[in-house]
């Protein structure tokens, strides 16, 4: 269960982290509004996945 939670955390936060790093270190990095919203929504979705993984693993 802990491995699954870590994998979910990394998969959900990775796009946001990459986008933030690109904005910080690449001077002419430009994305559309939709491309910048998707990682943000995924990052907010991480608060939903942790309870889902915990509850689904406790059922078995």
- Using the predicted structure, report yes or no on whether residue 59 has a pLDDT greater than 80: no
Per-residue pLDDT reduced to its tens digit, 25-58: 998 988 898 989 999 998 888 888 888 888 887 7
| pLDDT at residue 21 greater than cutoff 90 | yes
By CB neighbour count within 10 A (0-12 exposed, 13-18 middle, 19+ buried), where does 43 fall?
middle
Task: Give residue 5's pLDDT band: very low, low, confident or very high (50, 70, 90).
Answer: confident
How confident is residue 60, by pLDDT bands cut at 50, 70 and 90? low
30 and 19 Cβ atoms separated by less than 8 Å = no
The whole model's pTM is what?
Answer: 0.77
């Amino acid at each position: 269960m802990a491995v699954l939670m870590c994998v979910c955390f990394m998969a959900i936060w990775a796009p946001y982290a990459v986008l933030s790093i690109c904005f910080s270190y690449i001077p002419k990095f430009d994305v559309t509004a939709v491309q910048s919203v998707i990682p943000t929504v995924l990052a907010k979705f991480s608060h939903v996945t942790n309870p889902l993984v915990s509850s689904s693993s406790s059922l078995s």
